[in-house]
């Protein structure tokens, strides 16, 4: 029963549609009707600006972090489920949110939040990699996929250092989510029509 409750909490956390709520509450704008129509931080930056984009990014990261940390609370100490599995459920909630007709974001920020909750040094390494790659490519989508690939490499290195195989497996799974959610972006990158950021 505790496991079901834990997974439900994680899914509901991930389902919180921060981009939709920030847009409607503070900008009177439904983010789904502008830009790419995606409810993620990238489209929020593009449509609503830096302040809204940063806010949504932070909230989406914290959704993944909160899910992992809740799994570590004493109340759930007898649960046999790994905290990273709980984090993955939050990522699924972010992609398919019950509060927004199951049409959510692309899993990047919330996946990062899972890493923050489980191993902050890996999170810092991923963030630095993201910023460097974004500076070079100017495309958030391409950068996200590059980091997904490098994240798997980081997970393998982490395994050889710590013996923790779970992180590597979960990073691989979240990377697969990211590539799947960026299918349309891959087509635009190939066609040379993918939008580039102008603020970095």
Torsion angle (degrees, nearest 10) of CA 156, 160, 161, 163: 100
pLDDT in tens, 66-119: 999 998 888 887 778 899 999 999 999 999 999 999 999 998 999 999 999 999
- Beta strand extents in 15-146 (DSSP E only): none
Q: Where do the structural domains in the chain lie, given as residue ranges?
A: 2-191
How far apart CA 43 and CA 97 sit, in angstroms, is 17
Tell me the C-alpha distance between 153 and 146, whole Å. 11
Radius of gyration, alpha carbons of the chain: 16
Which tokens hold the place of 151? 């994240």
31-50 pLDDT tens trace:
999 988 888 888 999 899 99
Q: pTM here?
A: 0.93
| CA-wise closest residue to 175 among 154, 196, 192 | 154
């Amino acid at each position: 029963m505790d496991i079901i409750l834990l997974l439900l909490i994680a899914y509901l956390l991930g389902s919180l549609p921060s981009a939709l709520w920030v847009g409607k509450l503070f900008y009177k704008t439904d983010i789904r009707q502008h830009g790419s129509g995606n409810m993620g931080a990238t489209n929020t930056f593009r449509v609503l600006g830096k302040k809204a984009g940063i806010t949504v990014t932070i909230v989406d990261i914290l959704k993944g972090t909160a899910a992992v940390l809740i799994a570590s609370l004493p109340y759930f100490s007898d649960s046999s489920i790994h905290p990273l599995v709980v984090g993955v459920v939050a990522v699924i909630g972010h992609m398919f949110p019950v509060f927004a007709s199951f049409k959510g974001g692309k899993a990047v920020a919330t996946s990062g939040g899972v890493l923050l909750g489980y191993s902050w040094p890996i999170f810092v390494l991923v963030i630095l990699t993201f910023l460097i790659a974004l500076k070079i490519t100017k495309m958030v989508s391409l950068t996200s996929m590059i980091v997904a690939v490098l994240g798997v490499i980081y997970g393998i290195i982490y395994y050889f250092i710590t013996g923790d195989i779970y992180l590597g497996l979960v990073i691989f799974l979240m990377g697969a989510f990211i590539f799947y959610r960026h299918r349309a972006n891959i087509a635009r990158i190939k066609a040379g029509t993918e939008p580039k950021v102008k603020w970095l």
